[in-house]
Structure 1
Amino acid sequence: MTAAQWALWGCGLFFLTGLLTGVWKYAQIASSDKSRAHYYVDVAHRASLMYAFACLVLERFASLSVWSNAVNTAAVLTSMLFFALAVGSYILHGWLRDTRNQLQPPHQLGKAHFPGGAMLLFMVSLIVAEVGGFLVLFAGFVAGYSEAP
Protein backbone atom coordinates (compact mmCIF):
# COMPACT_ATOMS: atom_id res chain seq x y z
CA MET A 1 0.00 0.00 0.00
CA THR A 2 1.25 3.50 -0.72
CA ALA A 3 1.74 6.24 1.87
CA ALA A 4 -1.12 8.16 0.28
CA GLN A 5 -3.43 5.16 0.62
CA TRP A 6 -2.50 4.73 4.29
CA ALA A 7 -3.32 8.42 4.83
CA LEU A 8 -6.73 8.00 3.16
CA TRP A 9 -7.48 5.00 5.39
CA GLY A 10 -6.51 7.15 8.35
CA CYS A 11 -8.76 9.95 7.13
CA GLY A 12 -11.72 7.61 6.89
CA LEU A 13 -11.12 6.02 10.28
CA PHE A 14 -10.60 9.34 12.06
CA PHE A 15 -13.68 10.82 10.38
CA LEU A 16 -15.76 7.81 11.42
CA THR A 17 -14.38 8.14 14.97
CA GLY A 18 -15.34 11.82 14.91
CA LEU A 19 -18.88 10.97 13.83
CA LEU A 20 -19.26 8.24 16.46
CA THR A 21 -17.83 10.38 19.26
CA GLY A 22 -20.27 13.07 18.08
CA VAL A 23 -23.13 10.65 18.78
CA TRP A 24 -21.61 9.92 22.20
CA LYS A 25 -21.23 13.65 22.83
CA TYR A 26 -24.86 14.27 21.91
CA ALA A 27 -26.04 11.42 24.15
CA GLN A 28 -24.14 12.95 27.09
CA ILE A 29 -25.51 16.42 26.33
CA ALA A 30 -29.06 15.09 26.09
CA SER A 31 -28.78 13.29 29.43
CA SER A 32 -26.95 16.05 31.33
CA ASP A 33 -28.65 18.52 33.65
CA LYS A 34 -26.30 21.21 32.31
CA SER A 35 -26.60 20.06 28.67
CA ARG A 36 -22.88 19.34 28.47
CA ALA A 37 -20.76 16.39 27.53
CA HIS A 38 -17.67 15.45 29.50
CA TYR A 39 -14.74 17.64 28.51
CA TYR A 40 -12.72 14.81 26.96
CA VAL A 41 -15.70 13.43 25.02
CA ASP A 42 -15.92 16.86 23.38
CA VAL A 43 -12.14 16.92 22.80
CA ALA A 44 -12.18 13.40 21.30
CA HIS A 45 -14.97 14.42 18.91
CA ARG A 46 -13.23 17.58 17.72
CA ALA A 47 -9.74 16.07 17.57
CA SER A 48 -10.95 13.08 15.53
CA LEU A 49 -12.50 15.39 12.95
CA MET A 50 -9.37 17.57 12.91
CA TYR A 51 -7.08 14.56 12.46
CA ALA A 52 -9.27 13.27 9.60
CA PHE A 53 -8.49 16.42 7.67
CA ALA A 54 -4.87 16.36 8.81
CA CYS A 55 -4.64 12.93 7.15
CA LEU A 56 -5.77 14.53 3.88
CA VAL A 57 -2.87 16.97 4.21
CA LEU A 58 -0.53 14.03 4.81
CA GLU A 59 -2.02 12.23 1.79
CA ARG A 60 -1.44 15.19 -0.50
CA PHE A 61 2.14 15.79 0.61
CA ALA A 62 2.92 12.05 0.47
CA SER A 63 1.60 12.03 -3.11
CA LEU A 64 3.87 14.94 -4.05
CA SER A 65 6.97 13.81 -2.15
CA VAL A 66 9.96 12.59 -4.15
CA TRP A 67 11.08 10.25 -1.36
CA SER A 68 10.56 6.51 -1.64
CA ASN A 69 7.23 4.99 -0.68
CA ALA A 70 8.93 3.38 2.34
CA VAL A 71 10.10 6.77 3.66
CA ASN A 72 6.75 8.44 2.97
CA THR A 73 4.84 5.54 4.53
CA ALA A 74 6.97 5.67 7.67
CA ALA A 75 6.31 9.41 7.94
CA VAL A 76 2.55 9.01 7.42
CA LEU A 77 2.17 6.05 9.79
CA THR A 78 4.27 7.67 12.50
CA SER A 79 2.12 10.80 12.43
CA MET A 80 -1.10 8.78 12.32
CA LEU A 81 0.00 6.54 15.20
CA PHE A 82 0.37 9.55 17.46
CA PHE A 83 -2.89 11.06 16.19
CA ALA A 84 -4.54 7.79 17.23
CA LEU A 85 -2.79 7.67 20.61
CA ALA A 86 -3.96 11.22 21.34
CA VAL A 87 -7.57 10.50 20.36
CA GLY A 88 -7.44 7.20 22.25
CA SER A 89 -6.34 8.99 25.41
CA TYR A 90 -9.18 11.51 25.02
CA ILE A 91 -11.72 8.71 24.56
CA LEU A 92 -10.33 6.87 27.59
CA HIS A 93 -10.49 9.98 29.80
CA GLY A 94 -14.01 10.71 28.52
CA TRP A 95 -15.07 7.14 29.29
CA LEU A 96 -13.50 7.17 32.76
CA ARG A 97 -14.50 10.78 33.49
CA ASP A 98 -11.31 10.99 35.54
CA THR A 99 -9.91 14.40 34.63
CA ARG A 100 -10.52 17.63 32.78
CA ASN A 101 -6.80 18.15 32.15
CA GLN A 102 -4.62 15.13 31.44
CA LEU A 103 -1.51 17.31 31.49
CA GLN A 104 -2.08 18.62 35.01
CA PRO A 105 -0.24 16.77 37.79
CA PRO A 106 -0.94 14.42 39.35
CA HIS A 107 -1.38 12.57 36.05
CA GLN A 108 -4.17 10.08 36.44
CA LEU A 109 -5.81 7.31 34.54
CA GLY A 110 -8.93 6.25 36.33
CA LYS A 111 -7.92 5.90 39.97
CA ALA A 112 -4.26 5.26 39.14
CA HIS A 113 -1.58 7.92 39.00
CA PHE A 114 1.58 7.79 36.93
CA PRO A 115 4.82 9.77 37.00
CA GLY A 116 4.99 13.16 35.34
CA GLY A 117 8.08 11.99 33.49
CA ALA A 118 5.93 9.48 31.60
CA MET A 119 3.65 12.27 30.39
CA LEU A 120 6.62 14.41 29.43
CA LEU A 121 8.16 11.52 27.49
CA PHE A 122 4.89 10.88 25.68
CA MET A 123 4.42 14.55 24.80
CA VAL A 124 7.98 14.92 23.50
CA SER A 125 7.53 11.73 21.46
CA LEU A 126 4.23 13.02 20.08
CA ILE A 127 5.82 16.33 19.06
CA VAL A 128 8.79 14.65 17.40
CA ALA A 129 6.57 12.11 15.60
CA GLU A 130 3.89 14.49 14.36
CA VAL A 131 6.16 17.40 13.42
CA GLY A 132 8.94 15.12 12.18
CA GLY A 133 6.56 13.01 10.10
CA PHE A 134 5.19 16.06 8.36
CA LEU A 135 8.64 17.59 7.91
CA VAL A 136 9.77 14.46 6.05
CA LEU A 137 6.80 14.73 3.67
CA PHE A 138 7.18 18.48 3.28
CA ALA A 139 10.90 18.15 2.56
CA GLY A 140 10.05 15.52 -0.08
CA PHE A 141 7.58 17.95 -1.64
CA VAL A 142 10.09 20.82 -1.55
CA ALA A 143 12.79 18.63 -3.10
CA GLY A 144 10.46 17.69 -5.94
CA TYR A 145 9.12 21.21 -6.38
CA SER A 146 12.58 22.70 -6.67
CA GLU A 147 13.48 20.11 -9.33
CA ALA A 148 10.45 20.92 -11.48
CA PRO A 149 11.14 22.83 -14.73
Structure 2
Amino acid sequence: MTLTLAAQVALIAAGVIFLWALLLGVWKFAQIMRSPTGHAHVYVDIAHRAALMYSFATAMLAVFVQFSAWSTVVNVVALAIVVYFFVTAVASYCLHGALRDTDNQMHPTSPMMTAGMVALIIGEVGGSAVIIAGFIVEQSHTWS
Protein backbone atom coordinates (compact mmCIF):
# COMPACT_ATOMS: atom_id res chain seq x y z
CA MET A 1 0.00 0.00 0.00
CA THR A 2 1.21 3.47 -0.84
CA LEU A 3 0.76 6.20 1.74
CA THR A 4 -1.15 9.30 0.75
CA LEU A 5 0.70 12.61 0.80
CA ALA A 6 -1.24 13.64 3.91
CA ALA A 7 -0.27 10.43 5.73
CA GLN A 8 3.36 10.89 4.72
CA VAL A 9 3.35 14.47 6.02
CA ALA A 10 1.69 13.35 9.26
CA LEU A 11 4.18 10.54 9.88
CA ILE A 12 7.17 12.77 9.14
CA ALA A 13 5.77 15.40 11.53
CA ALA A 14 5.11 12.70 14.15
CA GLY A 15 8.68 11.47 13.82
CA VAL A 16 10.17 14.95 14.14
CA ILE A 17 8.00 15.76 17.16
CA PHE A 18 8.95 12.41 18.71
CA LEU A 19 12.68 13.13 18.27
CA TRP A 20 12.08 16.58 19.77
CA ALA A 21 10.38 14.89 22.74
CA LEU A 22 13.37 12.61 23.23
CA LEU A 23 15.75 15.58 23.22
CA LEU A 24 13.48 17.37 25.68
CA GLY A 25 13.81 14.28 27.87
CA VAL A 26 17.57 14.76 27.84
CA TRP A 27 17.11 18.41 28.85
CA LYS A 28 14.70 17.34 31.60
CA PHE A 29 17.14 14.72 32.88
CA ALA A 30 19.99 17.25 32.91
CA GLN A 31 17.88 19.67 34.96
CA ILE A 32 16.85 16.92 37.36
CA MET A 33 20.47 15.92 37.89
CA ARG A 34 21.56 19.52 38.59
CA SER A 35 18.61 20.45 40.78
CA PRO A 36 18.95 20.27 44.57
CA THR A 37 15.28 19.18 44.69
CA GLY A 38 15.65 16.61 41.93
CA HIS A 39 13.11 18.35 39.67
CA ALA A 40 13.24 19.94 36.26
CA HIS A 41 11.53 23.28 35.70
CA VAL A 42 7.78 22.71 35.42
CA TYR A 43 7.69 23.87 31.79
CA VAL A 44 10.59 21.62 30.77
CA ASP A 45 8.58 18.73 32.21
CA ILE A 46 5.41 19.90 30.46
CA ALA A 47 7.24 20.35 27.13
CA HIS A 48 8.66 16.83 27.35
CA ARG A 49 5.31 15.19 28.11
CA ALA A 50 3.35 17.32 25.64
CA ALA A 51 5.77 16.55 22.81
CA LEU A 52 5.50 12.83 23.53
CA MET A 53 1.70 12.97 23.50
CA TYR A 54 1.55 15.21 20.42
CA SER A 55 3.89 12.90 18.49
CA PHE A 56 1.55 9.97 19.03
CA ALA A 57 -1.53 12.09 18.35
CA THR A 58 0.04 13.14 15.04
CA ALA A 59 0.77 9.50 14.18
CA MET A 60 -2.86 8.68 14.92
CA LEU A 61 -3.97 11.48 12.58
CA ALA A 62 -1.84 9.83 9.87
CA VAL A 63 -4.14 6.81 9.97
CA PHE A 64 -7.23 8.99 9.73
CA VAL A 65 -5.95 10.96 6.71
CA GLN A 66 -4.74 7.76 5.00
CA PHE A 67 -8.30 6.44 4.98
CA SER A 68 -10.19 9.70 4.47
CA ALA A 69 -12.93 10.61 2.04
CA TRP A 70 -11.59 14.16 1.74
CA SER A 71 -9.18 15.46 -0.87
CA THR A 72 -5.45 15.69 -0.32
CA VAL A 73 -5.71 19.47 -0.01
CA VAL A 74 -8.37 19.31 2.71
CA ASN A 75 -6.46 16.65 4.64
CA VAL A 76 -3.07 18.39 4.38
CA VAL A 77 -4.48 21.81 5.33
CA ALA A 78 -6.39 20.41 8.33
CA LEU A 79 -3.33 18.41 9.39
CA ALA A 80 -1.04 21.43 9.00
CA ILE A 81 -3.28 23.51 11.23
CA VAL A 82 -3.35 20.86 13.96
CA VAL A 83 0.40 20.21 13.82
CA TYR A 84 1.13 23.95 13.80
CA PHE A 85 -0.69 24.34 17.11
CA PHE A 86 0.94 21.22 18.56
CA VAL A 87 4.38 22.57 17.68
CA THR A 88 3.72 26.12 18.88
CA ALA A 89 2.41 24.80 22.19
CA VAL A 90 5.56 22.75 22.79
CA ALA A 91 7.73 25.66 21.65
CA SER A 92 6.04 27.99 24.13
CA TYR A 93 6.62 25.46 26.92
CA CYS A 94 10.29 25.24 25.92
CA LEU A 95 10.57 29.02 25.98
CA HIS A 96 9.13 29.22 29.49
CA GLY A 97 11.36 26.33 30.58
CA ALA A 98 14.46 28.03 29.21
CA LEU A 99 13.57 31.45 30.63
CA ARG A 100 12.27 30.03 33.91
CA ASP A 101 9.95 33.02 33.89
CA THR A 102 6.73 31.43 35.13
CA ASP A 103 5.17 28.30 36.51
CA ASN A 104 1.79 29.19 34.95
CA GLN A 105 1.78 30.87 31.54
CA MET A 106 -1.96 31.52 31.84
CA HIS A 107 -1.60 33.94 34.74
CA PRO A 108 -1.81 36.81 34.54
CA THR A 109 -4.00 36.43 31.50
CA SER A 110 -4.23 38.96 28.70
CA PRO A 111 -6.44 39.54 25.68
CA MET A 112 -3.57 38.29 23.49
CA MET A 113 -3.28 35.07 25.52
CA THR A 114 -7.04 34.54 25.38
CA ALA A 115 -7.07 35.08 21.61
CA GLY A 116 -4.18 32.64 21.23
CA MET A 117 -5.95 30.00 23.28
CA VAL A 118 -9.19 30.44 21.32
CA ALA A 119 -7.21 30.05 18.07
CA LEU A 120 -5.49 26.94 19.47
CA ILE A 121 -8.82 25.41 20.49
CA ILE A 122 -10.42 26.13 17.12
CA GLY A 123 -7.34 24.94 15.23
CA GLU A 124 -6.69 21.73 17.13
CA VAL A 125 -10.31 20.68 17.67
CA GLY A 126 -11.57 21.95 14.32
CA GLY A 127 -8.70 20.50 12.29
CA SER A 128 -8.94 17.16 14.09
CA ALA A 129 -12.71 17.10 13.61
CA VAL A 130 -12.32 17.65 9.86
CA ILE A 131 -9.78 14.83 9.66
CA ILE A 132 -11.84 12.41 11.77
CA ALA A 133 -15.01 13.27 9.84
CA GLY A 134 -13.24 12.37 6.58
CA PHE A 135 -12.25 9.03 8.07
CA ILE A 136 -15.78 8.34 9.31
CA VAL A 137 -17.34 9.28 5.96
CA GLU A 138 -14.95 6.97 4.11
CA GLN A 139 -15.54 4.10 6.51
CA SER A 140 -19.32 4.57 6.47
CA HIS A 141 -19.34 3.36 2.87
CA THR A 142 -18.51 -0.12 4.19
CA TRP A 143 -21.25 -0.23 6.85
CA SER A 144 -24.06 -1.43 4.62
Same fold (TM over 0.5): yes
Partner of 2:124: 130
Q: How many residues align?
A: 140
1-10 or 52-61, which deviates more: 1-10
- Three-state SS of the structure 1 residue aligned to 2:86 is helix
The superposition leaves residues 72-103 of structure 1 with CA deviations (integer Å, 9 ceiling, x where unpaired) of: 00011100000000000000000000000001
* Counterpart code for 2:126: G
Aligned partner of 2:25 in structure 1 is: 22
Q: 1:1-149 to 2 correspondence within 5 Å?
A: 2-105=5-108, 116-148=110-142, 149=144
SS in 2 for 1:28: helix
- In structure 1, stretches of 5+ residues that fail to align are 108-115
Distance 1:121 1:11 in 2: 27
Q: Give me the whole-angstrom Cα distance separating, in 1, the residues matched to 2:129 and 2:30.
A: 39
Q: Which amino acid aligns with 1:136?
A: V
Structure holding more strand per residue: 1
Task: Supply the distance in 1 between the matched residues of 2:16 and 2:140 (Cα, whole angstroms).
Answer: 34
- Give aligned-pair identity as a percent: 50
How much is the aligned-residue C-alpha RMSD, in angstroms?
1.0
Letter in 2 for 1:18: A
The alpha carbon displacement at 1:31 in A equals 0.4
